[in-house]
Amino acid sequence: MKSTFPAIIVSALLLTGCANEFNQVYKTSDYAYKYEYAKESFLKGKYTRATTLLQDLVTLQKGTDNAQESLYMLAMAQYMSRDYESAAATFKKYFASYPKGVYAEKAEFYVGQSLYMSTPEPRLDQTQTVAAIAAFQDFLDLFPDAEDKERAQKRLFELQDKLVQKELYSAQLYYDLGQYFGNCSDGGNNYEACIITAQNAIKDYPYTALREKFAVLVMKSKYELAQQSVEEKKLERFQDAEDECYGFINEYPDSKSKSLAEKYINKCKQVTKD
């Protein structure tokens, strides 16, 4: 234990020394030295320090040979610090300021990448996901032969999958709410809402791997909707549900839900044949 305390003291002194050194650099009016220190901090992975210094320096560097580098480095330091919102804004600023700049292509890619890194899980609001998709699409339009083309395309597919998953959660929620009308307005119905949500998702994302799950929800919702219908609507809705089941079997002949579709068909026929 005796040897531990000197080591702790030495570490504390080193940290204090580093902090004092940084404070001196931060306060100095020697901007060339401050800039070199910021670059060194960045290269050593001390992104918070680099960000702190560069936030002051980018304005001072305007019109100099270091202007582009300082702004791009600030954006990258923010990105590496996981401050994705600030990074996206700074990358956008760089591209707006230097659309033909040395780092223009990378900056435009990292606008999308920064937004991508800050997107929430599918159950939450997906405004950021939509923004990331738009950013990557802009990147691909501007730089169709870019070095990061494949990465951007992969990100686009991942982000679209997240939007599809969000729609699936919404459709499933409507189905699970079933006959609960507390959340409905204007005479709405949860099963109808499920059908509309699922059908829109199939239309908007026709090649999604979740297509069958949406189709199952449509089929189940149409049957449940028929079950709870008033007499004057029962026949029409059971016929619609029956047609939906046949369509499901035709499209997914090997589906695990095929037996459920056949069960629904038999029950529907008991009503439509009468």
pLDDT at 6: 55
pTM of the model: 0.82
- CA pair distance 148, 109, nearest whole angstrom: 7
Helix or strand holding residue 106 (H, E): helix 104-117
Residues 60 and 86 sit within 8 Å (Cβ to Cβ): no
Two tokens, residue 43: 């290269």
- CA pair distance 137, 140, nearest whole angstrom: 5
Q: Which of 269, 242, 252 is nearest to 210 (CA)?
A: 252
The predicted model gives 195-209 an average pLDDT of 96
pLDDT at 188: 59
pLDDT at 25: 73
Two tokens, residue 171: 């459709």
In tens, the pLDDT along 49-84 reads 999 999 989 998 888 999 999 999 999 999 999 999
Per mean pLDDT, which of 6-20, 26-40, 105-119, 166-180 is the most reliable?
Answer: 105-119
Does the pLDDT of residue 133 top 90, yes or no? yes
Does the pLDDT of residue 228 top 70, yes or no? yes
Contacts 24+ apart (CB under 8 A), 35-44: 35/61, 35/66, 35/70, 38/70, 38/73, 39/73, 42/73, 42/76, 42/77
Does the pLDDT of residue 31 top 50, yes or no? yes
pLDDT at 195: 97
pLDDT at 274: 64
106 — pLDDT class (breaks 50, 70, 90): very high
Residues 6+ apart with CB under 8 A from 207: none
Average pLDDT, the chain: 90
Does the pLDDT of residue 9 top 60, yes or no? no
